[in-house]
Protein backbone atom coordinates (compact mmCIF):
# COMPACT_ATOMS: atom_id res chain seq x y z
CA UNK A 1 0.00 0.00 0.00
CA UNK A 2 3.04 2.31 0.39
CA UNK A 3 3.10 2.85 -3.36
CA UNK A 4 -0.49 4.09 -3.16
CA UNK A 5 -0.73 5.87 0.20
CA UNK A 6 2.02 7.43 2.27
CA UNK A 7 2.27 9.14 5.61
CA UNK A 8 4.94 11.68 6.32
CA UNK A 9 4.91 14.02 9.32
CA UNK A 10 6.24 16.79 7.04
CA UNK A 11 3.43 16.39 4.51
CA UNK A 12 -0.08 17.31 5.63
CA UNK A 13 0.96 16.70 9.27
CA UNK A 14 1.28 12.95 8.70
CA UNK A 15 -2.27 12.43 7.46
CA UNK A 16 -2.37 9.57 4.90
CA UNK A 17 -2.07 11.00 1.38
CA UNK A 18 -2.06 9.50 -2.06
CA UNK A 19 1.62 8.86 -2.82
CA UNK A 20 3.35 11.70 -4.61
CA UNK A 21 0.57 14.15 -3.75
CA UNK A 22 -0.72 16.31 -0.92
CA UNK A 23 -4.24 14.97 -1.44
CA UNK A 24 -5.45 13.13 1.63
CA UNK A 25 -7.31 9.86 1.44
CA UNK A 26 -9.93 11.45 3.71
CA UNK A 27 -10.53 14.09 1.04
CA UNK A 28 -11.35 11.32 -1.42
CA UNK A 29 -13.85 9.68 0.92
CA UNK A 30 -15.36 13.09 1.76
CA UNK A 31 -15.93 13.74 -1.95
CA UNK A 32 -17.62 10.36 -2.35
CA UNK A 33 -19.83 11.02 0.67
CA UNK A 34 -20.93 14.30 -0.93
CA UNK A 35 -22.17 12.31 -3.93
CA UNK A 36 -19.32 13.09 -6.31
CA UNK A 37 -18.09 10.46 -8.74
CA UNK A 38 -14.59 9.04 -8.89
CA UNK A 39 -14.18 10.63 -12.32
CA UNK A 40 -15.08 14.06 -10.96
CA UNK A 41 -12.63 13.61 -8.06
CA UNK A 42 -9.87 12.68 -10.52
CA UNK A 43 -10.67 15.72 -12.67
CA UNK A 44 -10.37 18.00 -9.65
CA UNK A 45 -7.22 16.32 -8.32
CA UNK A 46 -5.21 15.37 -11.43
CA UNK A 47 -2.15 14.41 -9.39
CA UNK A 48 -4.08 11.39 -8.09
CA UNK A 49 -4.16 8.44 -10.46
CA UNK A 50 -7.13 6.16 -11.06
CA UNK A 51 -5.14 3.08 -10.03
CA UNK A 52 -4.39 4.73 -6.67
CA UNK A 53 -8.09 5.38 -6.05
CA UNK A 54 -9.03 1.84 -7.03
CA UNK A 55 -6.33 0.40 -4.76
CA UNK A 56 -7.62 2.45 -1.81
CA UNK A 57 -11.16 1.23 -2.45
CA UNK A 58 -9.97 -2.37 -2.72
CA UNK A 59 -8.03 -2.04 0.52
CA UNK A 60 -11.11 -0.63 2.27
CA UNK A 61 -13.18 -3.50 0.87
CA UNK A 62 -10.70 -6.11 2.07
CA UNK A 63 -10.50 -4.49 5.49
CA UNK A 64 -14.29 -4.49 5.75
CA UNK A 65 -14.57 -8.14 4.71
CA UNK A 66 -11.81 -9.14 7.14
CA UNK A 67 -13.66 -7.36 9.92
CA UNK A 68 -16.79 -9.31 9.02
CA UNK A 69 -14.92 -12.57 9.59
CA UNK A 70 -14.42 -13.48 5.94
Does residue 70 register a pLDDT over 70?
Answer: no
Helix (H, G, I), strand (E, B), or coil: what is residue 20?
A: coil
Quote the number of domains for the chain: 1
> 2 pLDDT band (50/70/90 cuts)?
low
Q: Give CA separation, 61 vs 6, 12, 46, in Å.
A: 19, 25, 24
| % of the chain residues with pLDDT over 70 | 93
pTM: 0.86
> 20 pLDDT band (50/70/90 cuts)?
very high
pLDDT, mean over the chain: 93
Task: Give the pLDDT confidence score for residue 42 in this predicted structure.
Answer: 98
Check which CATH number belongs to the domain holding 40 and give it: 1.10.10
Number of H helices, E strands in the chain: 3, 2
Beta bridge partners of 5: 18
| Host domain of residue 24 | 5-67
Task: Give the pLDDT confidence score for residue 50 in this predicted structure.
Answer: 97
Amino acid sequence: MNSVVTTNPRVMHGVPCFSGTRVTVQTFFDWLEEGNSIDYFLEQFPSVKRDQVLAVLESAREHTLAGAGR
